[in-house]
Amino acid sequence: MTRTASLQAAEIEQRITALLERMSLDEKVGQLTLLQAGGGHIPEHLREDVRAGRVGAVLNEVHVDTANELQRIATEESRLGIPLLVGRDVIHGFTTVFPIPLGQAASWDPALVTACARVAAQESAACGVNWTFAPMLDIARDPRWGRIAESLGEDPVLAGQLGAAMVRGFQGDDLAKPGAIAACAKHFAAYGASESGRDYNSTNVPENELRNVYLPPFKAALDAGAASVMTSFSDLDGVPASANTFLLRDILREEWRSDAMVVSDWDSIRQLAVHGFTEDDRSSAFEAARAGVDLEMASTTYRDHLPSLVRDGRLTESRIDALVRNVLRLKFRLGLFESAQTDAARFAPAASPSHLALAYEAAVGSAVLLTNRDWALPLDASTLTSLAVIGPLADDPHEQLGTWVFDGDAQYSRTILDAVRAHVGDRIDVRFARGVANTRSRRTDLIDEAVALAANSEVTVLVLGEEAILSGEAHCRADVTLPGAQQALLEAVAATGTKVIVVLMTGRPLALEAAVPHAHAMLCVWHPGSMAGPAVSDLLFGVRSPSGKLPVTFPRVTGQIPIYYAHKHTGKPVTPESYIHQEDIEPRAHQVSVGNTSFHLDTHYTPLFPFGHGLSYSHVEYEHLWSSSGVLPMEGRLTLGVDVVNVGPRDTVETVQLYVRDLVGDVTRPVRELKAFTRVALARGERRTVEFTITPRDLAFYGRAQRLLVEPGRFHAWIGGSSTAELRTEFTLLDHATSA
């Protein structure tokens, strides 16, 4: 490794300044241009653009020889020899595919998330990639939104910790080391609040909610060293993110003092005019550059118009220099000026045994046992003679990989059917039927075959859910119940009297109120990646025990959306006493508002499965919640603890969660907020005391003046296994209010 790998910041800035002094205006604008590569070949126009310094970055080139040739042209044939950024969507793996990010979030395991990102970085770096467009840090509270699959869930603390873990995995401890790639925190900001869960839609988020909910994961990722930030497609308070000076200058640069490079999302600068925010491409280029977008992805409004905007005096060349500086800084930090070539032989082979072993661990760790009536799971292979495996996703090596896997190779996939057969061998008669042609199909002609198979089997493993194409970017759904004829398939199979185990393979939370009564157990495995089969098989037969917890709330019905645990109390909160279902209302009942509270008449006010929920093959009880003091001084610390007892029949891993409520605030506060969590391994019969230490800083929030406050007052605290934890204590934060 060369000395450049650990260049000091001051030296990098000096080298950038020296390089800027040598650059023409056109060459500077070239550094702000990110174009689509040829995908294995170099079009002549791209070759000439790189040679002339008209492009500073390319994306979607994963052929190492082609990437190396592009870098050779840039460093040897261009006037200034400036290397290229080579970007790729490496969202949840590369050749080896890990669970979708929402699935990884269900592990609540930062170390696992880091390890998965590290492997993804190494496999993509071997192909010449040096920059990825991940992690996605949008808080996602609407399962209709297809991109919830890419998210880390609904909670700022969980998403922030796991997003930071992903950054550390991609980037390592030195971006210039082989195998490190630059991370990109996206989409800045509040894209997860898209109206009606529709991609590219408007986001109307008050500044207070923006600061308290949507921005903290980005700050956590930047504090972890995230090298770049991507703007959102959406607008915020009427200003599209790619022209939003409040986001890009006031918050990112001035408040947070971040020097991370800012890239637009695909074509989003040109789309400023489509929004109706600008008149034409020239105005779009002006607004984006003025706001602080450093690099334009896909479109060429910068290249086409920035030079003339400078010559006409609308933009200063120093503004252009500031943008270029951020691009060059990342290239220096990546060590590209010392060595832009990739030696693939230095890297372990893609989908190596160790990489697939990690994919297996990630698939096991991300699985969430939603229900387990009468301990239907795990299955006992020694007592079974027949087993039906039914469902369109049980034996499909592609669909289990999930959304956004451009480089995932299905030849490495192990399916559930294959793994179950391998596990039981000849001892159990394992028979398979699709049941429906695919998850979207409404045809029922295949159900009879599945029913006949189930009727003659002791247990049916029914693999239902969504194909990969039903989630991800631009794949939003208005109704998040089981698609197609799957509900009919489930009911028909259950009617045979066989024990039904549902394996739910999905890219989002589904509304399963109609499905749950027909299953003896339900295991949510998300889209679990390459090693779905062995992971699910081992979970079904008790070789491994599920330990995942939900990173997002599951609604009962679609109409409850958005439903999330950290909601506000409101002035008329629903209570068990005030709730009434419409079927229980007397005919011609007198309509009054007195005593009414906030709920829907046609469904229960609680979710089907709450945030943090997840069962195991054992049973954990929480006892003796305590605090080190009833008061927390403004400059002090408070320890909260609980006894966690494994009273079940097996060893287990429990994610212990701490929630807090600020009872009175400068602005209204959520009924509960996750503040800390830890994973605890418990042997059968083991009792352990788990402790959390909090400080006043952990209780800070943005108040009416949009400043971070720490306010004195009373707080409730809960510790338990989900956001519905019942053990509660109380403490008081002392002293006067201060700025945090």
**CB neighbour list of residue 322: distance below 8 Å, 6 or more residues apart:** none
Q: Which residues pair with 419 in a beta bridge?
A: none
Q: CA-to-CA distance for 141 and 214, rounded, in angstroms? A: 11
**Contact in structure between 514 and 481 (CB atoms under 8 Å):** yes
Largest separation between any pair of C-alpha atoms in the chain: 84
Q: CA-to-CA distance for 172 and 179, rounded, in angstroms? A: 8
Using DSSP, how many helices (H) and how many strands (E) does the chain show? 19, 27
**CB neighbour list of residue 628: distance below 8 Å, 6 or more residues apart:** 638, 639, 640, 641
**Contact in structure between 55 and 49 (CB atoms under 8 Å):** yes
The CA radius of gyration of the chain, in Å to the nearest whole number, is 27
Q: What is the dihedral of CA 585, 586, 588, 590, to 10 degrees?
A: -70
Sign of the dihedral through C-alpha 492, 497, 498, 504: positive
Neighbours of 272 (CB within 10 A): 28
699, amino acid identity = L
Q: In what order do the strands lie in the sheet with 429-433?
A: 368-372, 521-524, 499-505, 459-465, 386-390, 429-433
**CB neighbour list of residue 9: distance below 8 Å, 6 or more residues apart:** none
Terminal CA-CA length for the chain: 41
Sign of the dihedral through C-alpha 209, 293, 232, 399: negative
Q: What are the phi and psi torsion angles at 209 (to 5°)?
A: -70, -35
**Contact in structure between 327 and 53 (CB atoms under 8 Å):** no
**Whether residue 265 lies in the annotated active site:** yes
Q: CA-to-CA distance for 740 and 737, rounded, in angstroms? A: 9
Nearest CA to 262 among 189, 175, 209?
A: 189
61, amino acid identity = E
Residue pointed to by tokens 């800027």: 20
Q: Quote the Cα angle for 578-584-588, to 5°.
A: 105
The active-site residue out of 265, 294, 396, 698 is 265
**Contact in structure between 471 and 507 (CB atoms under 8 Å):** yes
**CB neighbour list of residue 459: distance below 8 Å, 6 or more residues apart:** 379, 384, 386, 387, 388, 498, 499, 501
DSSP secondary structure of 177-190: STT--B-EEEEETT
DSSP secondary structure of 35-46: EE--SSS--HHH
Neighbours of 6 (CB within 10 A): 11
Q: Is 356 helix (H, G, I), strand (E, B) or coil?
A: helix
Q: Rounded to an integer, what is the distance from CA 645 to the centroid of its chain?
A: 31
Q: Is 359 helix (H, G, I), strand (E, B) or coil?
A: helix
Q: Catalytic site residues?
A: 265
